[in-house]
Amino acid sequence: MASQHLILLLAIFVSLCVAAIGQGNKIVPFNPSCSTTGNYSGDSQYKKNLDQLLSTLATAATDDGWFNTSSVGTGGDDQVFGLIMCYADRNPTQCKECLAGAPAGITQVCPGSRTVNANYDACLLRYSDVSFFSVADKTVAFNVYAKSYVENMAAMNETRWQLMSQLAETAGQTKLRLDTGSTRLGSTSMMYGLAQCTRDLAVSECSTCLSDYIVQLSKIFPNNSWAAIKGYSCYLRYDLSPFGITLPPSSPVPPPSSTRSTGFVAGLSVAGAVSFMVILGVSIWLLLRRRRKHARLMREHQEMEDDFEKGTRPKRFRYDELSVATDFFSDDCKLGEGGFGSVYKGFLKDLNLEVAIKKVS
């Protein structure tokens, strides 16, 4: 009997340990904001869209440098908008665990809520039925701080203000919407800072959100040795000890789009057509030039033959030409008689030549 009680107690103890371990492995948000009005039901279209969104956010963020904004649905009350981002002062393992765990467990933390804002140690998760992209939410979700203090409060505040203001200005101008830096505090200490916004924000929205948090730092933590403020759109941290910063991996270079490929092929086709037309035109010009040259050579050859024939063949004269040359066969030009007729002396003016012309009887 005692052994049965012992086995039962051991089973209960093991179950509690397993439950405790399982609870410890969960990614738990700090003070999440869960809407309480207009909640969705378990079989609603919004629930289906939300489940689809949450199932893809982690992978999309991993592929997109630890940040992603997405939406599911085609408009109306059932469309859901989501955002997830890792904090830059957490290592890659912490980031990946948060990206995977936050979407998986948030519906248990905020069951039925249509709008949720949740900060975790390593990441931020937001979703809503209304688009919040590109608009800074300046709500302070929570803050953490050290209970150690700096004696020179004035120097502390001045140094922190200058460092964090500079980071707030430059963070919004970077592609990752974050910046880090350090400066000297007094003669022996250093101060380190981090300013980060969600990457959907414009430069002005990011800088304004961070500037508001800098004011909060001065009010809430006048001389704490380190502190951090996390919200739903921006994050500030300063520390007198250095802390690690992990930048997201570079996104792979996307393959050329079909439009560019089509344009390239079209460009080649046009270039090929132009080249063909140029070659064809030059070929036709050369052919015509060759034919003209051949015709000219043939014409010159014919003229040479004509000239040759004119110079070598007997010259034929008409009767009237011979009659004029002999003064119409007058007796004064008659040289004598010969076989078959009389012979006359004549003068061919065109040839400047004296000739003997026989008039056949």
- Tell me, what CATH number does 43's domain have? 3.30.430.20
Query: In this structure, are residues 214 and 168 in contact, taking their beta carbons and an 8 Å threshold?
Result: yes
Q: Report, as an integer, the average pLDDT of 258-277.
A: 53
Contact 155, 185 (CB under 8 A): yes
Q: How far is CA 324 from CA 273, 317, 318, 319, 346, in A?
A: 72, 11, 10, 9, 8
Higher pLDDT, residue 150 or 290: 150
Q: Is 359 annotated as a binding residue?
A: yes
Question: Quick one: 56 and 117 in the same domain?
Answer: yes
Which whole number is the average pLDDT over 47-53? 97
Pairwise CA distance, residues 356 & 348, whole Å? 10
Across the range 118-131, mean pLDDT stands at: 97
Q: Which two tokens stand for residue 117?
A: 């804002």
Mean pLDDT of the chain: 83
Is there a domain that residue 314 lies in? Answer: no
Q: How many domains does the chain have?
A: 3
How confident is the model over 299-323, as a mean pLDDT? 62
Which residue, 68, 96, 128, sits at the end of a domain? Answer: 128
The Cα-based distances of 277 to 88, 215, 274, 284, 289 in angstroms read 59, 71, 5, 10, 18
Closest listed residue to residue 119, CA positions, set 203, 229, 250:
229
What pLDDT shows up at residue 321?
78
The verdict on residue 305 lying in a domain is: no
Tell me, yes or no, if the pTM score tops 0.75.
no
Q: Could you tell me the pLDDT band of residue 319, with boundaries at 50, 70 and 90?
A: confident
> CA of 222: how far to CAs of 138, 213, 338, in Å?
20, 13, 154
Give CA–CA dist 15/24, Å, rounded.
14
- The stretch 242-270 carries a mean pLDDT of 59
Same domain for 44 and 89, yes or no, is yes
Read off φ and ψ for residue 176, nearest 5 degrees: -85, -5
* φ, ψ at 182 (rounded to 5°): -150, 160
Looking at the chain, the whole-number percentage of residues with pLDDT higher than 70 is: 79
Of the candidates 157, 138, 141, the one whose C-alpha atom is nearest the C-alpha of residue 212 is: 138
Residues 111 and 33 placed together within one structural domain of the fold: yes
Q: Any idea which of 59-73, 104-118, 215-229, 316-330 has the lowest mean pLDDT?
A: 316-330
Predicted pLDDT at 264: 43
pLDDT bin (cut points 50, 70, 90) of residue 282 is confident
Q: Let me know whether 151 and 225 are in one domain.
A: yes
Boundary residue ending a domain (220, 239, 258): 239
Residue 7 has pLDDT above 50, yes or no: no
Residue 218 domain flag: yes
Higher pLDDT: 272 or 198? It is: 198
Residue 237's pLDDT is: 98
pLDDT band at 314 (very low <50, low <70, confident <90, very high): low
Whether 105 and 188 share a structural domain: no
Residue 157 token pair: 């505040």
- Within 8 A by CB and 6+ apart from 132, the residues are 81, 83, 126
Which residue in 247, 140, 137 sits closest to 200, CA to CA? 137
In this predicted structure, what is the pLDDT of residue 18?
A: 34
Task: Please tell me the distance from the alpha carbon of residue 280 to that of residue 276, in angstroms, as a whole number.
Answer: 6
Instruction: Return the minimum-mean-pLDDT range out of 74-83, 138-147, 280-289.
Output: 280-289
pLDDT at position 304 is 55
Element (H, E) at 48: helix 45-63
Structure tokens belonging to residue 81: 């908008």
pLDDT at 96 over 90: yes
Are residue 33 and residue 122 in the same domain, yes or no?
yes
114 and 49 share a domain? Answer: yes
Assign residue 341 the CATH number of its domain.
Answer: 3.30.200.20
Give the CA radius of gyration of the chain. 52
| Cα–Cα distance for residue pair 87/236, rounded to 1 Å | 10
Query: Is residue 346 in a domain?
Result: yes
pLDDT: which is higher, 173 or 256: 173
Question: Model confidence at 289, in pLDDT bands (50, 70, 90)?
Answer: confident
pLDDT exceeds cutoff 70 at 5: no
pLDDT tens profile 187-238:
889 999 999 999 999 999 999 999 999 999 989 999 999 999 999 999 999 9
pLDDT tens across 23-43, in order? Answer: 444 689 999 999 999 999 999
Token reading at 42: 């378990």
Which runs of E-coded beta strand occur in 198-333?
A: 226-231, 234-239
Q: 205 lies in a domain?
A: yes
**pLDDT value for 196:** 98
Which residues, 6+ apart, have CB-to-CB distance to 1 below 8 Å?
Answer: none
Note whether residue 41 is domain-resident.
yes
Between 163 and 18, residue with greater pLDDT: 163
3-class state of residue 324 by DSSP: helix
In this predicted structure, the answer to whether residue 163 has a pLDDT above a threshold of 50 is yes
| pLDDT at residue 12 in the model | 35
What is the domain extent for residue 73? 29-128
Q: Name the band, by pLDDT with cuts 50, 70 and 90, for residue 254.
A: low
Please say if the pLDDT value at position 312 is more than 70.
no
343 belongs to a structural domain: yes
Q: Which residue has the higher pLDDT, 291 or 258?
A: 291
- Asked which of 210, 239, 268 is the last residue of a domain, the reply is 239
Is residue 196 included in any domain, yes or no? yes
Percentage with pLDDT > 90 across the chain: 57
Predicted local distance difference test score (pLDDT) of residue 300: 61
